[in-house]
Amino acid sequence: MRVPRVAVPELAPEVELSGREAHHLVRVLRVEVGRRVRAFDGRGREAEGEVAWIEGGRVGLRLGEPMEAEVEPPVEVVLYVALLKGDKLADVVRAGSELGVSRFVPLVTERSVPREMGRAKLERLRRIAVEAAKQSGRAKAPEVTEPLALTELAPQGFGLVAHPYASTTMDAVDWPESGAVALASGPEGGFTEAEVEHLAGLGLVPVYLGPRILRAETAPLVLAAAAAAMRGF
C-alpha cells in the first residue's frame, strides 16, 4: 500500500493538522489511526510516522527522526516565466515543480497581457506548488514569488532564455560545473528582441528549442525538462 505524503509546518515528534491537509487525509485518502505516513516540511527534510488520532476535522501524527531528503536537484533552478492569460501559470507551476524547479518568478514583460497578479491567485499558485511537491515525492516546496518587472531582474551567474531564433541549441550550451540555473520564458508573442538582448546581458544564453512553435505555457516546461535532462537533475 502506498504511504501517503503530508505537508507539515514542522517535523516534531507530535504534529496536529487541520484544514486542507487534515481534510485530504481523512476525507479523500480515508486514513485510519495507525496508518503509516511520510511527512515533509517543505524545506528539504522528511520523517516517517503514523496517524496517532483523528478527531473531527483534526488529525494527530506521531513522527520519527527527521532526515534530509535525497530527491532534490543538486542545483537551484529558478524559472522566470512571463505572466500568462487565464490559468496557464497554474499548469506551469504544477509541472515545473515536478521537474525540479526551485523557484518560480512571474515576469511582467512588454507583451504581457496581464500586468499584475492578485493575492488570491498568488496564494493559489503557492498551494499548487506544495501539492505538486507532495505528489512527486519532493521534500522542498518550490517558492512562487510576487511578479517582477523584467527590467528589475538582477544579473544571473548562468542562465538560459528560450528564443525561437537563437543559434545555440541545448546540446551546445557550455554548462558551468556548479551553481544555480536561471531559465526564462516569454509571454504569448514572446520576448521582444530588446528584452532578449537585456536578458543576455544579465547572463542568460538565448537557446533554440526546436522548429515547432510552442505555446507560452509549453515553452517554459520544455526548457525546464531539457535543462533537467542535460544537467541530470
Structural domains in the chain, sorted by start: 5-68 (2.40.240.20), 77-231 (3.40.1280.10)
Q: Phi-psi bin for 159: left (phi > 0), alpha (psi -120 to 50), beta?
A: beta
State the distance between the two ends of the chain, measured CA to CA, in whole angstroms.
28
Length of the chain: 233
Alpha-carbon gap, residue 51 to 202, rounded angstroms:
49
DSSP-based three-state secondary structure for 131: helix
Q: Higher-confidence residue: 231 or 8? A: 8
Query: Cell numbers at residue 116, please?
Result: 499584475
219-231 vs 88-98: helix axis angle to the nearest 10?
Answer: 10
Distance separating alpha carbons of residues 109 and 40, to the nearest angstrom: 35
Cell numbers found for residue 118: 492578485
Mode of pairing for the β-strands spanning 159-162 and 204-207? parallel
Residue 158 CA: distances (Å) to CA of 32, 176, 204: 48, 8, 6
Share the mean pLDDT of the chain. Answer: 89
**Residue 177, pLDDT score:** 73
Per-residue pLDDT, 106: 96
> CA-CA distances (angstroms) from residue 55 to 64, 173, 217?
22, 55, 42
The percent of residues in the chain predicted with pLDDT above 70, rounded, is 98
> Please, which pLDDT band fits residue 233 given cuts at 50, 70 and 90?
low
Question: What is the predicted pLDDT for the residue at 187?
Answer: 95
Q: Dihedral through CA 197, CA 159, CA 172, CA 111, nearest 10?
A: -40
Q: State residue 180's pLDDT score.
A: 86
Which residue's entry shows cell 531582474? 153
**pTM, rounded to two decimals:** 0.82
pLDDT 10s digits, 72-116 = 777 889 999 999 998 999 999 999 999 999 999 999 999 988 888
What's the grid cell of residue 75?
Answer: 542545483
CB 158 within 8 A of CB 179: yes
Report the pLDDT value the prediction gives residue 6, as an integer from 0 to 100.
Answer: 86
Instruction: List the grid coordinates of 155.
Output: 544579473
At 185 the three-state DSSP class reads: strand
Cα R_g (the chain), whole angstroms: 20
